[in-house]
Structure 1
Amino acid sequence: MPTFLAADGTELHYDESGEGKTLVVLPGGAGRHPSYLGDLAGLPGRLVVHHFRGSGDSPAEGARSFWDQAHDVDGLRAHLGLDRLDLVAHSAGTRVAIAYAARYPDRVASMLLVTPPAAYLTDTPSDAALITAHRRGEPAFDAAVEAYRTGPRGEDQADFERWQQVAAPATYAAWTEVEQAHSRIGRTLLSTVRAFLDVELPEDLPRRLGEVRAPVRVIAGAQDFTTGLAPVLAAAKLFPNGEAVVIDDCGHYPWVERPEAFREAADPFVR
């Protein structure tokens, strides 16, 4: 597996597959093992999948906030010999992509942000309850919503992983064998999540994003309980060249739930 050295000398890992235009991929989960991404439904290009500190095959120690890990992404850019990056990011990985754009706006060629959490970017109220109301009464979904409301019951890794499995049905628009199998791929360390989200963001972050001139496409799931739809659409408007594409009958993982629709939304943009 290829590696590069971060500015502090830490050896960080990345995966590489495919040919063509280089797309640097930032996984979500606040540090979930990138294996859950698969091949992103065959997304075209040379996919360079970054393993964040504390996740995947990068060292478990030394995990940092998503704001600080923007510097690691720039280290990967330099290692790849690129002047600017075309970023593809999912979920919590979009936090790092946005941090990178805010800190290195001239080094971003484009950003494809897939189901980004947006509550920290906009005060638009979440409509999650409304867009998923039709699923109320499904035992697995109701239990998942309650799990999101209460959070993990304990403070150790085992408790966190049990909570993730109970909460998983709320992250998809349906809960078939396909979604169930996908939910079990890719471990996430609780310690990494805590470090990832331990950050005080600059008050002028929205202004900084307004200075990012690169094209930005946001892909939203019409039934994404984890993010809601309205906040995601509002976040796309923070970028001067931002746009949003909504995929129907879809939750938080469009390349798993609606692969053809995902490719239709993503391929023209990344090419």
Structure 2
Amino acid sequence: MRIFFLLIIFALSSSAAAKPEMVDVGEYRIEYEMMGSGDVTLFLEAGGSAGMDDWEPIYAELAKYARVIRYSRVGNGNSTSIKRHFSSEDYAQGASALLDVLGIEGRVTYIAHSYGAHVARTFAAQYPNKVAALMLIEPSSEHDVDIIRALDLKLANEQIAEV
């Protein structure tokens, strides 16, 4: 009987955690999670080809103090796959559209890693009224972005698959 109650408690506590959801943003399906509450909204942007799971080590902890949104950009995680290169401007527009679809009003604290920091800087320049603060972790430079854009996407995916 005791084990039964422990299993029920475990099931209830794990069901309280956020679960990935999908939302239509324009022509794309975007994977996201939102957890926590409060006046502050943290918006997490992963680096490079990473999805929202890159934030797993700190996501739940941050949600104890604020509303936290993490997502996978188009082409990453379980979001819609892409066949072309997206610019940082494209990604910033997608991030803005996602926040609009989710009904996020007010400014967000945009926390970004690596290439995501380039997206966040572009977002802040395009939508200054949507940004309360930026936190850039190991930000890539614009030169890094030029290198990424010069990649042969099909060949790169094949080489990554081999690894």
TM bracket (short chain): 0.5 to 0.7
Q: Within the alignment, does 1:3 sit opposite 2:32 as a pair?
A: no
Alignment map for 1:28-39 (pairs within 5 Å) = 28-29=47-48, 31-39=49-57
- Which residue in the other structure is 2:114 paired with? 91
Matching residue of 2:76: 55
User: Secondary structure in 2 aligned to 1:3?
Assistant: strand
1:155-170 alignment, distance < 5 Å: 155-160=155-160
Aligned to 1:213: none
1:158 deviation in Å? 4.6
**Which blocks of at least 5 consecutive residues in structure 1 are unaligned?**
122-150, 164-271
Identity %: 24
What secondary structure is seen at the aligned counterpart in 2 of 1:36?
A: helix
Q: Which residue of 1 aligns with 2:46?
A: 27
Distance across 1 between alignment mates of 2:134 and 2:79: 24
Aligned amino acid, residue 23 of structure 2: F
Cα distance 1:102–1:77, how it changes in 2: closer, same or farther (>3 A)?
A: same
State whether structure 2 residue 139 is matched by structure 1 residue 110.
no
TM-score by length of 1: 0.42
**Is the 8 Å Cα contact of residues 4 and 12 (structure 1) preserved in structure 2?**
yes
Q: Which has the higher helix share?
A: 2
Residues of 2 paired with 1:53 and 1:34: CA distance? 11
* Alignment CA distance shift 1:156-1:98 (3 Å): closer
Aligned match of 1:191: none
8 Å Cα contact 2:109-2:131 kept in structure 1 = yes
CA deviation vs aligned residue, 1:206-265 (integer Å, no higher than 9, x gap): xxxxxxxxxxxxxxxxxxxxxxxxxxxxxxxxxxxxxxxxxxxxxxxxxxxxxxxxxxxx
Q: How many residues align?
A: 131
Segments of structure 2 that go 5 or more residues without pairing to the other structure are 1-19, 145-150
8 Å contact kept, 1:52–1:58:
yes
Q: CA deviation at 1:114?
A: 0.8
Map of 1:72 onto structure 2: 94
What SS does structure 2 have at the residue aligned with 1:155? helix
- Check conservation: 1:77, 1:83, Cα contact below 8 A: no
Aligned-partner Cα distance in 2 for 1:3–1:45:
22
| Cα RMSD (Å) | 2.9
- What is the CA distance between 1:156 and its match in structure 2? 4.8
Contact 1:77 1:84 in 2 (8 A): no
For 2:35, the equivalent position in structure 1 comes to: 17
Structure number having the greater strand percentage: 2
The one-character-per-residue Cα deviations of 1:80-138 (angstroms, maximum 9, x if unpaired) are 331322211111111110110111122211111111013549xxxxxxxxxxxxxxxxx
